[in-house]
């Protein structure tokens, strides 16, 4: 169209010469005349112009010939001929218009042909360039839109909701989102470590409980429940590993089966499997996780069918037959009995079925009946009478737990000692009236526990508890199997004090793991940290807890905020919701993921209200 217009404009200033040739003459001329590189385009153009204007062109040619003849004699009755001047004007005007549409016109004028061709090329290039710019612009807009949506998802997951006219500066100040390139780089390193551990598990032990990295095979140490996979679900989600999370989710939906003739630990199955599935549900709102959590919980419930309500520690998942291990004299372990409350209360809140909450809370009521004045219950409980074994050990480490917290902390203070001459704190074990100078690595959660609980005291007492939490502690074990308890305490202390020293300590620990425990096929523990002798097990809690706590240690405090999430014993975050003590109120969140109805907490007492939430898409 641009070329056509240019021809018309240019031709109005050209000379008025010959009339249009007829079709045969033009055909012969095209056959014999040399045409430049625009020949094919012009021929195509000429073809369509010729067909469209064949009748008009023939008429023009006949009119031109008629002007050179004498007027024919007029027969009687014929209309009078038009004036000669009118015929000449009409023919001349028609000639001037149509000759510029004829290819022969330009073949006889090479300069104008070249100008026409250059105009056509310029118009084509301009149109193509414009289309390219539009395509590039649309692609850039699409990319930026995706980036904005991704950032919005991350902010929403951190509990930050942007209004239309949000002031970004105020948001950064309010939520402490100052860019920290050091923490960002460290967090990415932890994420890469998680990918290495996960990919090793996928390659060598997919669907099995745990990976033996040096043997490069899997082992079912928890009855074939996919412990590492289920334990890793929320870690994958929190770190934004979408493809890995989706693959694990599909395995849960298609392959996770609890109908196994296996004596499962009620404690381990609750914290790892029930807790892991509930956390994945709270984060993703995918109901398959809630369905699976309910399935395994129903298989565990017969363990609570005792005269006291104190549960047995083991149960056959297929037969529902519960018991206690012989090595412990048929007694129940305190940590097992006092650790399932969080998961089972959460399950009742999410399903609307009160039976899980009732079983778990009955245990606490039984503990209240036998609770000692110093707040230190022994590790063994009789499941039939519900009484404590007075001669059993009191410990905050293996097989012990925290009950009636504030009273217990008074007892804890009586168990703390300092090493000499280094003045490191440690928590003793108590046997009767004597103290044993022993603290294992499982007790390293104590600083974090103290820091969390300090806010519930008067200012003076809170300062005392927090000072103890900040003290350096020492353990007396020489092995390291990548346990999370120390990292857990560092994460709590960093978030509650803002002291970056705890981040630096955590980074030192992570670098030590990378140097001494990372191998080509995963991560292994050390049988002795002095010799560096490696074992052959990548514990599932390394992915579920250790790496998750490290990732959160280098993340802003508003990410998986303590005001909205609570961690179970296996570091699975569960959304904090309003406690419903009446059975009828429990259905408030039935059929809804906590990612759909999130509880927004106001202050430390967790006054709650429902707000809309878009789940984190990583």
Binding region: 569
Query: Rounded to 5 degrees, what are φ and ψ at 376?
Result: -110, 95
List the structure tokens of 127.
């149109």
**How far apart are the C-alpha atoms of 326 and 435, rounded to whole Å?**
27
Tokens 């984060």 -> residue: 283
Q: Which residues are part of the catalytic machinery?
A: 268, 272, 401, 485
CA 552 to chain centre: 14
Q: Which residues are annotated as a binding site for Ca(2+)?
A: 569
User: 510 to each of 10, 177, 187, 585, how far by Cα in Å?
Assistant: 78, 24, 11, 45
Beta bridge partners of 394: 430
Beta bridge partners of 518: 523
Tokens 């023919």 -> residue: 91
**How far apart are the C-alpha atoms of 385 and 518, rounded to whole Å?**
48
Question: H or E stretch including 142?
Answer: helix 110-157
Contacts of residue 356, defined as CB under 8 A and 6 or more positions apart, other chains included, come to 297, 301, 344, 345, 347, 348
SS3 481: coil
Cα-trace Rg, the chain: 42
**Contact, 19 vs 60, CB < 8 A?**
yes
Angle formed at CA 351 by CA 350 and CA 354, multiple of 5 degrees: 105
List the structure tokens of 22.
């007829």
Task: 321-324: list long-range contacts, CB under 8 Å, 24+ apart.
Answer: 322/266, 323/263, 324/383
**How far apart are the C-alpha atoms of 227 and 258, rounded to whole Å?**
12
Question: H or E stretch including 234?
Answer: helix 227-238
Query: Of 455, 534, 541, which Cα lies nearest the Cα of 495?
Result: 455
- Where does 263-382 have alpha helices with state H? 266-268, 275-284, 287-300, 334-337, 341-351, 355-370
List the structure tokens of 96.
């001037």
Query: Of 232, 204, 239, which Cα lies nearest the Cα of 540?
Result: 232
User: 576 to each of 394, 477, 489, 520, 573, how far by Cα in Å?
Assistant: 31, 36, 21, 39, 9
Tell the burial category of 523 from Cβ atoms under 10 Å away from its Cβ (0-12, 13-18, 19+).
buried
């Amino acid at each position: 169209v641009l070329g056509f217009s240019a021809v018309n404009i240019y031709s109005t200033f050209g000379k008025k010469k010959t009339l249009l040739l007829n079709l045969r003459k033009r055909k012969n001329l095209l056959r014999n005349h040399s045409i430049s590189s625009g020949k094919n385009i012009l021929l195509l153009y000429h073809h369509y112009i010729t067909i469209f204007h064949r009748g008009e062109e023939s008429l023009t040619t006949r009119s031109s010939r008629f002007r050179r003849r004498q007027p024919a004699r007029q027969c009687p009755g014929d209309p009078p001929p038009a004036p000669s001047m009118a015929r000449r004007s009409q023919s001349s005007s028609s000639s001037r218009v149509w000759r510029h549409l004829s290819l022969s016109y330009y073949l006889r004028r090479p300069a104008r042909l070249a100008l026409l061709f250059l105009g056509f090329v310029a118009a084509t290039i301009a149109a193509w360039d414009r289309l390219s710019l539009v395509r590039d612009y649309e692609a850039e807009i699409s990319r930026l839109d995706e980036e904005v949506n991704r950032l919005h998802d991350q902010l929403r997951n951190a509990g930050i909701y942007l209004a239309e006219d949000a002031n970004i500066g105020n948001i950064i100040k309010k939520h402490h989102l100052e860019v920290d390139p050091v923490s960002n780089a460290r967090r990415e390193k932890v994420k890469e470590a998680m990918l290495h551990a996960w990919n090793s598990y996928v390659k060598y032990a997919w669907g099995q409980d745990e990976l033996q990295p040096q043997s490069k095979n899997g082992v079912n140490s928890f009855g074939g429940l996919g412990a590492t996979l289920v334990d890793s679900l929320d870690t994958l989600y929190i770190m934004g590993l979408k493809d890995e999370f989706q693959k694990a989710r599909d395995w849960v939906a298609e392959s996770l089966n609890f109908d196994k003739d296996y004596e499962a630990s009620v404690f381990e199955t609750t914290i790892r499997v029930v807790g892991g599935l509930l956390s994945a549900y709270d984060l993703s709102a995918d109901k398959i996780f809630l369905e699976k959590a309910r399935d395994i919980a129903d298989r565990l419930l017969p363990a609570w069918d005792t005269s006291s309500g104190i549960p047995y520690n083991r149960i056959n998942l297929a037969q529902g037959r519960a018991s206690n291990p012989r090595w412990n004299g048929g007694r129940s372990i305190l940590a097992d009995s006092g650790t399932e409350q969080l998961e089972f209360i959460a399950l009742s809140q999410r399903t609307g079925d009160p039976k899980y909450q009732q079983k778990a809370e009955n245990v606490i009521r039984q503990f209240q009946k036998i609770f000692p004045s110093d707040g230190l219950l022994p590790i063994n409980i009789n499941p039939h009478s519900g009484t404590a074994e007075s001669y059993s050990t009191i410990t905050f480490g293996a097989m012990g737990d925290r009950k009636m917290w504030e009273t217990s902390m008074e007892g804890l203070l009586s168990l703390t000692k300092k090493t000499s001459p280094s003045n490191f704190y440690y928590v003793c074990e108590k046997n009767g009236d004597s103290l044993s100078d022993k603290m294992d690595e499982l007790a390293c959660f104590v600083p974090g526990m103290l820091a969390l609980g300090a806010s519930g005291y008067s200012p003076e007492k809170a300062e005392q508890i927090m000072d103890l939490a900040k003290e350096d502690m020492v353990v007396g074990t020489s092995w390291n199997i990548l346990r999370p308890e120390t990292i857990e305490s560092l994460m709590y202390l960093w978030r509650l004090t803002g002291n970056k020293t705890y981040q630096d300590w955590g980074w030192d620990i992570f670098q030590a793991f990378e140097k001494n425990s990372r191998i080509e096929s995963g991560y292994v523990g050390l049988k002795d940290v002095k010799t560096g002798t490696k074992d052959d097990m990548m514990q599932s809690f390394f992915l579920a807890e250790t790496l998750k706590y490290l990732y959160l240690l280098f993340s802003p405090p508003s990410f998986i905020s303590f005001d909205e999430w609570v961690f179970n014993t296996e570091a699975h975050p569960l959304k904090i919701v309003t406690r419903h003590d009446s059975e009828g109120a429990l259905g408030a969140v039935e059929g809804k993921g906590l990612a759909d109805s999130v509880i927004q907490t106001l202050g430390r007492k967790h006054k709650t209200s429902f707000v809309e939430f878009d789940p984190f898409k990583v």
